[in-house]
Amino acid sequence: PSGSMAEGKVSELQIAIHRDENTLTPFTYVTGYPGAAVLRLVFDSLFILDEQNQPLPWMVADYEVNAAFTEYRISLLPGQFWHDGRPVTADDVAFSFSYPLTQSQTRWRRIAAQVESTDVTDELNLTIRLKTGNPDFLSQALTDMPIIPKHIYENEVDATMVGEALGSGPYRLVEYEEGKHYIFEAVPGYFRGDALVERIVMPIIPDITTIFQALTAGSIHATTAHVAPELVSVFAAERDIAVMSGPGLATTLLQINNEVYPFTLPEMRRAVMLALDLQELVDVVLLGHGDPGSLGFFHPAGIFGTDAFVPERDLTKSNELLDGLGFLRQGDFRVDGNGQPLSFELLVAANNPLRIRSAELIAEQLKEVGIDIRVVSLEPTTLDERVWPGFDVSQERNYTLSIWGWSAPVQLRPDALIQLAATDHAMGSLNLGGFASSEFERLAERFITEMNADARKAIIDEMQVLFARDIPLIPLFYQQVIMAYRPAAYAGWVLQQGEGIINKMSFLPGFARAGSAQEPQSDAAADGRDFLFYLLLAGVLGAVIVVKGRKKGHAS
Amino acid sequence: MTCENKKKQLPLALAGAVILSIFLIMAIFAPVLAPYDPHQRVGLPFSSPSGGHLLGTNDIGQDIFSELIYGSRLSLGLAVLTALVSTGFGALLGLVAGFLGKRVESVIMRCTDFMLVLPFLPLAILLAAMLGQGFFQLVLVISVISWAGTARIVRAQVLKVKAKGYIFNLQAIGAGPWYLLRKHIFREVLPLITYHTMLSASNAVLIEASLSFLGLGNPLLKSWGSILYYAQIRNAMLTDSWLWWVIPPGLSIAFLSAGFLLIGFYLEAYANPRVERGQIDA
Amino acid sequence: MQVNWKRRRGTAQYLILILVVITVNFALPRMLPGNPLVFLAGEDVGLLSYAERNELLSRYNLDRPLPVQYVHYLRDLVTLQWGDSFSKREPIWDILWGRVPWTLLLALSSIVLSSFFGAVLGVRAAMNRGRWSDIRLLLIVSFLGSFPSFWLGMVLIAVFAVQLNWFPVFGAYTVGTGYFGLQKLADVLQHLTLPLLTLTLLSIGRYFLTMRYSLIELMGEDYIILAKAKGLPERVIKYKYVMRNALLPFITVLMMDLGFVLSGATVVETVFAYPGLGRLMFEAVLARDYPLLQYSFLVVALIVIAFNYLADRMYAYLDPRVGEEG
Amino acid sequence: MLNVEGLSCYYPVADKEVTAVCNLSFDLGKNSMLGLIGESGSGKTTVAWALLGMLGDLGGHAHGQFTWKGTVYDFHSPAPWRHLRWREIAIVPQTAMNSFNPVYTIGHSLTEVLKWHVSALGANERSARAKEILARVELDPQLFYSYPHQLSGGMRQRAALAKALICNPKILILDEATTGLDVITEGNILKTVAGLKKELGMSLIIITHDLRLVENLCDDYVVLKDGFAQQPGSPYIKKLFSAMLQIGKKPKVADVRGVPILVAKNMSKSFRKPGTRKKFLAIDCVSVSLTPGSITGLVGASGSGKSTLVNTLFHMLRPDGGSISFQGKTISSDPSAIKGMQRQMGLVRQDPFDSLPPHEKVSAVVAEPLQIHSLSEGRQKDLKKVSQLLAEVGLEPEVYIDRFPHQLSGGQRQRVAIARALVTNPSVLVLDEPTSMLDATIKLEILQLIAQQAIEKRLAVLLVTHDLAAASLVCDHILVLHHGKSVASGSFEMLLQNSSSSYLRQLLLAATDLKGYWRHLDEVAPGCSGEGVGVMIPPAVSLSVAERISNL
Ligand SMILES: Nc1ncnc2c1ncn2[C@@H]1O[C@H](COP(=O)(O)OP(=O)(O)OP(=O)(O)O)[C@@H](O)[C@H]1O
Ligand SMILES: Nc1ncnc2c1ncn2[C@@H]1O[C@H](COP(=O)(O)OP(=O)(O)OP(=O)(O)O)[C@@H](O)[C@H]1O
Ligand SMILES: [Mg+2]
Ligand SMILES: [Mg+2]
């Protein structure tokens, strides 16, 4: 039930969310996507990321950063209120940057840990002082940290006990039923203008196929779920459904355990890399709706990436490298120096068909250079436990190769490569392959102390070069973010790169796209389904006739 | 009427046998019958049926027809093996429990109670983590969870049969429990056991598919269930491809269990000769 | 005296069973690879320092030796202080309360429907044993029961929800409406239809076959033949007289099915986004949410045991010859 | 009232049709009683079921016509059976003992019929009527609350009669309905039925082997032989009637006393009283001892505990008290000892419809004890033995050996059961009403067979019977049970002379002369023991068992 109201406003939208994100407070939500994304409808942050993931002042009227990147002076825009009517003050902001330290929620805690002190000047002004200078604090932390109401949290020892999601964002969470739905209502008099959609109803639908059935049926108007590649053409042909797409930032990669022979040898890793045909992966698995991975990890279209590191397949070179290592062919496959066949297990999560398919393709591709890959699918948490035991890279890993993935925010972090490859367990907290390189360590140290933006970018480029040379891991592809929605219901959607269309900008005047109703497209709607329908109808009719016939038989 | 019945039942049993043997032949001669290696990508992903690919190709371009033929190996094997193991074990315990009664019975029954409430999903994960995710592990997992049901039902039926006068009579003239179980009780519950064998056979195939659906199975095994799983997860229902991707494996599973049922039908006539007695609609 | 002893032994056995179940529900989740850290620490769990991780573990008593944890669990269990779920961040009681009614609605109605139709069709088939109508029914029922549940669910959605728009695609009710009273009821029933149909089609086969078998086994009995000679209406003989005798195995199937639908409808609940226990448990398993797992499994286990116990007790009532000395 | 024209009935047996009844015609007048007699397997039961249109349910089919209230119906076509059954024609089937649904109480079964046929009655009225009718057939109205398996064979037969009477049918078919009753009860029951017949203008078809009944009660009779009706006065009919047993012709005393092989001392068994929590003793300190070569008769009213005693002897019921010793050894609860004892014992249970495995052919049924006790000497030899035994009990092996039990008549099943009991050459034979469904000729043959076996093979026999004539003929020793107590024991003659047991006298009186007994009952109040009882008892003549057999 929705209807366009006057002035292009919409009274209600049904947006399916593909998993339960608990009470949707900063301390109870579960995943970065869709959890944190939806959370931002309710909670504001000082800055937000715009369409291109560039920081944009939001709650902030004016700000100033000192040269050492240790002091961030911020003055808030007036007229901001919590959903319970109290005004948002600098005090709340300061509280938001200290309170998470007492909590176990790591994402906020990590930010708060950088803060040495906060200095509240008056109602609307404060200064945040960092322990060490960090030029990325604005883009990484100030855009991220949700501002929470001090009066709600201040006496709470365990923040997860606060069930009510009370923020200052454009939407108020009015109802949450565990496992069933969320309902949001636009907050009147929001300081950036009244939201264009009065009410958002988010049913929780765990099965993606069901979500798209519902979208086809018209019972939902949009969804947090990304459209599967094979559906793009289907939806494109569908009159009532529009599709929006952009590069994806979620990275699917071949994680290599650098500590397991022969992958301890960079040549071996390089040989594997050269034997892979990433474009084929994209074409077959993603049907072209994605981009092949860059060895420098960062998406070429992203902030830090360049397309210089997208590898080309080169079987001859790969073979040469392997031969050079003394891994000679014996029959179909090669054997290593100890006479052991080059045969490895490739672990993959059993719940992710794209990754399973990728693994199968990789096995096929590596077979061509004489490497035997046995794909093993594992229940996701079991896989985690083998690749990333205890989520602690210092613990003993138990795998050789695995198809792994990092979510979109990792692509946005300037220090992503350090996390992925630094030897130090605290810094290289995502270094699942146990990559160790003194050269890289030096780069990392330089990066941390460097405050100049351009110099930092240069170091990142150097790191990417090193990645492309030593190959600690092999990024396979970045799946495009494709979103589908019913334009007749609402068309103001803004696609944030790598994330999707569920964000504040989609709903706020001045940010949302103009021109709501879209022209209906061609009506070549899936004939197959019509056929299915008639077939089943015939089946039901047949059954009815049979039963009736039997009854008659009885009567006589 | 007996004559009619017999005449009618023989072709049925034959039909069942034919269906099963077709699948069996499919399984045994898969390499000969299948046009392609089902693990090989031989066409464009998601292509429609054509001369080269009778049932089109799947999401990465493997030939669905070949997948189907090779799938019969695993599905048939899984169905038969699980059915035999779980019903065999379950029926045996059910018979013993129902007939011997007393302490044996209550111990066995508490075991079945326990099996019935044993949480299946964690168990499946645990066994998969400990034993791996191969074919035999799958057989084991599915058997472990399904024998208890058979045991309970068989036991309930045995209790009923045990109360019959002729069993009482035979006991009186010295028939021991094993003798009675073997010669009479087993025979009386044989149709029920056959049904359960058939049900567990098709159930095994379904459980395998469902495990895949939940991301707990092994979608790498080429089975009918995994073909369906990919069809489902790659949204075959929203495109045209359901016609050649979803219907054939679905029908195969259905025909397999129909085949088993028809055979069971014949067995039942053997176990209970009073076929023509007491048909109320006569 | 003797009876008394027997009963006491029976009770003891059930106590042991329940204790074993309690223990297994404690141990099994903890034996799984992985841990619930990701839900305790949020998404950036990899950034936890060593000390932070330890602190977190100790806050939830996860660093204690298992026996100690077990004792804690037992204590919480009996004092009914079940605490919060790791992944849901809500009291387990509340979570269960939010789910159990829906599960019961789905489970019970599917059991009622499938047992009813299974029984009726089973009687029909048995009465026509060996004839075409029997074989036809047998084939249809076995055929329908041979499709994977997710597949069946999807087909139903595609036809009845998307194409015909007769039923909603997902959920247990329309979200965000002010329905109440009859309107609400109609809405809930509408949402119930498709998942119910799926579950029913799936489990009808068992009832059908069990009923058919039990009847055929009875059909030759002299008292059934006499019942007909007594001029009782056919309907009465079929659906009352004869069915009563077939109840013993039938009830067994029924009680067992209950356990299955309570916790095993995961797939159907997922496909239809139905907020039942099955999906909850499945998510809890993936999350390694120990407390939620152990208590929800326990609740289901107790319900199942209770019903099977009931079934056992009913045997003697259902067939007075059973359970007497002989 | 009812006119049957050219009734033929067929059963399929192994792809062939056997004709059970051929071209039978008869009339049944209003308020009349028709006897349907003939030897075992001649088609009597078949006729009865055909009249209810039930042959189809037994696997057979019928041809012919019948006229009912002026309308002609075809047996073949779906006649208005629904309206005829029970309201107009009711039956006490030969399977009466097995005709109650075991999961319902007797009361439920009775009221159910009422519910569907006499819709005007309320629930309370229905149960009142049911209890009343139970009392009428000499059953304790409390049995309303019992389950069928808690009743003795005779009690079940009477309950079946109650069920048949409860709707006041116009025609009542009694198919061997009194075989499980002692003569006194039988007399009383028949009197009740006769009374009802007069009262309600009911017609009866009585199927029986007891020709005295036919002689004394029936207005007319039809004699069947191999499915064909016999002309009145045909030699076959004469032969049939001459074979009637006359009690008292050859009584005897025997003292073949040896060492008893089976001794049961002070056996007691209690059951719960129906509808209450109280217990009663079904057998109360009863002792029996069986000696090789002798036949012990166990007689007593229906429900007096005979079958219960038999069951305890076979360890199928755990007695509350008492001990059993076999071949001098006390048999405890040790299974192997029990099995060893059971191996040497043969058993024929009271209800032949409930004691044969339904899914085995006769050959397998009879040979089964050999299998059980691993006495089998190979298929061929076993089969030969079985054939021989079947022939001895009067069943042609070629015809019957490949049939299933449900394809046999009641008497045929009884004989199969006897053959089965004899197949292991047991040393103790326990027979619970083994000849109740047999006609006089075959009965004599069977009794002769048993007696012969007793002598030749030194068999100890316990014969439970209501047929005092038979008992007096073959039994060396008789034990009389009354309400679970052993009230008298000794040789037949001794018991007659020592007339302390008025109960036995009554029994004998009734057995000797039915008409006289009935008259006697009419004169004196029911249940009394009159003066002239002794008069009818013939003088005792001592005869050895061997002589008795030659006399038979
Ligand atoms: N269902 C059946 N199938 C095949 N033959 C049958 C069936 N029922 C009875 N018969 C045969 O039909 C003949 C007549 O049987 P019926 O039961 O009418 O005999 P009866 O006169 O009642 O004998 P009895 O006095 O022993 O009860 C017998 O030879 C019997 O073997
Ligand atoms: N299982 C039982 N439960 C309760 N009462 C029983 C049970 N079996 C027998 N009785 C009762 O015990 C008494 C004796 O029964 P029994 O069968 O021994 O009689 P019977 O002498 O064989 O009679 P009949 O000649 O009628 O067969 C009856 O009153 C009967 O109701
Ligand atoms: Mg008869
Ligand atoms: Mg008796």
- What pLDDT sits at residue A348? 93
Beta strand pairing call for A473-479 and A401-406:
unpaired
Q: For residue D60, what is the nearest residue in chain B, using CA coordinates?
A: B1
Residue D245 CB less than 6 A away from ligand 1: no
Verify whether ligand 2 is closer than 6 Å to residue D155 (CB atom).
yes
In the 8-state DSSP scheme, what is residue A415? T
How far does A310 lie from chain B, in Å, by closest CA?
23
Residue C302 to residue C308: CA distance in whole angstroms: 10
Least confident span in A104-113, A397-406, C215-224: C215-224
**Which of D233, D193, D218, D173 is closest to D44 using CA atoms?**
D173
Residue D127 gets which letter from DSSP?
A: H
What mean pLDDT is predicted for residues C170-174? Answer: 85
Type of residue found at D115 = K
Ligand at shortest distance from the CA of D406: 1
Using CA coordinates, name the residue in chain B closest to C216. B275
Q: What is the mean pLDDT of residues C279-285?
A: 87
Token digits of residue C61:
């008593």
Cα–Cα distance for residue pair B100/A110, rounded to 1 Å: 66
Task: Report CB contact under 8 Å: B169, D349.
Answer: yes
Q: Which atom of ligand 1 is nearest to the CA of D48?
A: 18
Confidence band, pLDDT 50/70/90 cuts, at residue A461:
very high
pLDDT band at D502 (very low <50, low <70, confident <90, very high): low
Q: Which stretch of DSSP H or E encloses residue D153? A: helix D153-165
Pocket of ligand 2 contains residue D222 by CB under 6 Å: no
Q: What HEC string does B131-189 produce?
A: HCCCHHHHHHHHHHHHHHHHHHHHHHHHHHHHCCHHHHHHHHCCCCHHHHHHHHHHHHH
Question: D271: exposed, middle or buried (C-beta count within 10 Å: 0-12, 13-18, 19+)?
Answer: middle
Nearest to D290 by CA among D256, D319, D322, D267: D256
Residues of A with CB under 8 A from a CB of B: 209, 212-213, 216, 228, 230-231, 234, 284-285, 287, 349-353, 356-357, 360-361, 364, 375-382, 526-529, 531-532, 554
- What local confidence, expressed as pLDDT, does residue C5 receive? 54
3-state secondary structure of A335: strand
Report the DSSP pairing between strands A197-203 and A10-16.
Answer: parallel
CA–CA dist A389, A396 (Å, integer)? 7
pLDDT at C129 over 80: no
The per-residue pLDDT for A535 is 67
CA distances from residue B281 to D123, D164, D263 in whole angstroms, order as listed:
30, 24, 53
Nearest-CA residue for ligand 2 atom 27 is: D153
Contact criterion met (CB < 8 Å) for A357 and B216: no
What CA–CA distance (Å, rounded) separates A88 from B263?
A: 76
- Sites in chain B below the pLDDT cut of 50: 1-4, 277-282
Distance, in Å, from the CA atom of B123 to the CA atom of B108, rounded to the nearest integer, reads 21
**Residue A287 in tokens:** 């049907």
CB contact under 8 A, B173 and D359: no
**C-alpha to C-alpha distances, A69 to A53, A453, C314, D252, nearest whole angstrom:** 21, 11, 77, 131
For residue A197, what are the β-bridge partners? A10
Q: What is the pLDDT of residue D517?
A: 47
Instruction: Spell out the residues 6+ positions from residue D491 whose beta carbon is closer than 8 angstroms to its own.
Output: D252, D253, D254, D255, D476, D477, D478
For A302-430, strand residue ranges (E) read 328-330, 333-335, 343-349, 372-378, 401-406
- Neighbouring-strand partners of residue D26: D4
Distance from CA of A389 to the nearest CA of C (A): 7
**pLDDT confidence bin for A542, thresholds 50/70/90:** low
In this prediction, residue A163 carries a pLDDT of 84
Could you give the C-alpha distances from A282 to A278, A289, B12, in angstroms and in order?
Answer: 6, 7, 51
Asked which of B138-147, D269-278, D505-514 is least confident by mean pLDDT, the reply is: D505-514
Work out the minimum CA distance from C113 to partner chain A, whole angstroms.
Answer: 18
Whether chain C has a CB inside 8 Å of the CB on D270: the answer is no
pLDDT at A110: 86
Please name the residues in contact with C32: beta carbons below 8 A apart, sequence gap of 6 or more: A381, A382, B122, B125, B126, B129, C285, C288
- Both tokens of B171, joined, read 């006991």
Q: How many CB atoms lie within 10 A of CB A60?
A: 18
How far, in Å, CA of D194 to CA of D480, rounded? 29
| Ligand 2 atom with least separation from CA of D143 | 31
Q: How far apart are CA A533 and CA A543, in angstroms?
A: 15
Tell me, what's the pLDDT at A524? 42
Name the residue with higher pLDDT: A432 or B174: A432
Burial class (CB in 10 A: 0-12, 13-18, 19+), D71: exposed
Question: What was the pLDDT predicted at A321?
Answer: 92
The pLDDT, as a whole number, for residue C4 is 52
Residue D527 pLDDT level (bands cut at 50, 70, 90): very low
Q: What is the mean pLDDT of residues D104-114?
A: 87
Q: What is the DSSP string of A32-66?
A: IIIIIHHHHHHS-BSEEE-TTS-EEESSEEEEEE-
- Closest residue by Cα to atom 26, ligand 2, is D154
Do the bridges between strand A333-335 and strand A328-330 make them parallel or antiparallel, or are there none, so unpaired? antiparallel
For the segment D416-452, what is each residue's pLDDT rounded down to a tens digit?
Answer: 999 998 888 888 889 988 888 887 778 878 888 888 8
Query: Which of the two residues, A58 and A556, has the higher pLDDT score?
Result: A58
Residue A35 has pLDDT above 50, yes or no: yes
**The pLDDT of residue A544:** 59
pLDDT for the residue A547: 53
Chain B hits for C147, CB-CB cut-off 8 Å, are 206, 250, 253-254
Measured in whole angstroms, the distance separating CA D152 from the mean position of its chain's CA atoms is 12
Distances (CA, A) of B139 to B73, B78, B213: 14, 6, 17
Alpha-carbon separation of residue A280 from A50, A275, A312, A365, C101 (angstroms): 32, 12, 11, 10, 49
Nearest by Cα to C206 from B203, B12, B204, B15: B203
Q: Could you say which residues from 173 to 212 on chain B have a Cβ atom under 8 Å away from some Cβ of chain A?
A: 212
DSSP character string of D340-406: HHHHTEEEE-S-TTSSS-TTS-HHHHHHHHHHHTT----HHHHHHHHHHHHHHTT--HHHHTT--GG
At residue A1 the predicted structure's pLDDT band, cuts being 50, 70 and 90, is very low
Residues with CB under 5 A from ligand 3 (ion): D 45, 94, 409-410
Name the residue with the closest Cα to ligand 2, atom 10: D150
DSSP assignment letter at D279: E
**Interatomic CA distance for residues C203 and C110, integer angstroms:** 9
Q: What's the pLDDT score for residue C7?
A: 63
Task: Indicate whether residue D149 lines ligand 2 (CB < 6 A).
Answer: yes
- Do strands A242-246 and A401-406 pair parallel, antiparallel, or not at all (unpaired)? unpaired
Q: Is the CB of D46 under 6 A from ligand 1?
A: yes
> Which region among A319-323, A483-487, D264-268 has the lowest average model confidence (pLDDT)?
D264-268
Enumerate the H helices of chain B as residue ranges.
Answer: 2-28, 30-33, 64-82, 88-100, 102-117, 120-131, 135-162, 165-172, 177-180, 186-213, 224-233, 242-245, 247-271
Residue of D nearest to B3 (CA): D15
- The model's confidence at residue D465, banded by pLDDT at 50, 70 and 90, is confident
Q: What is the pLDDT of residue D247?
A: 39
Is the pLDDT at A222 greater than 90, yes or no? yes
The model's pLDDT over A41-80, given as tens digits with 9 standing for 90+, comes to 999 999 999 888 889 999 999 999 998 889 999 999 999 9
Please name the residue of chain B whose CA is at the shortest distance from the CA of residue C6: B102
Q: Is D411 in the pocket of ligand 1 (CB under 6 A)?
A: yes
Q: Quick check: A139 pLDDT over 80?
A: yes
Whether the CB-CB separation of B73 and B227 falls below 8 Å is answered with no
Q: Which residue has the tokens 């010295």?
A: B174
Higher pLDDT, D535 or B112: B112
* CA D188/CA D380 separation, integer angstroms: 50
Query: Six-digit token pair at B226?
Result: 């995994």
pLDDT in tens, C38-57: 888 877 777 777 788 888 88
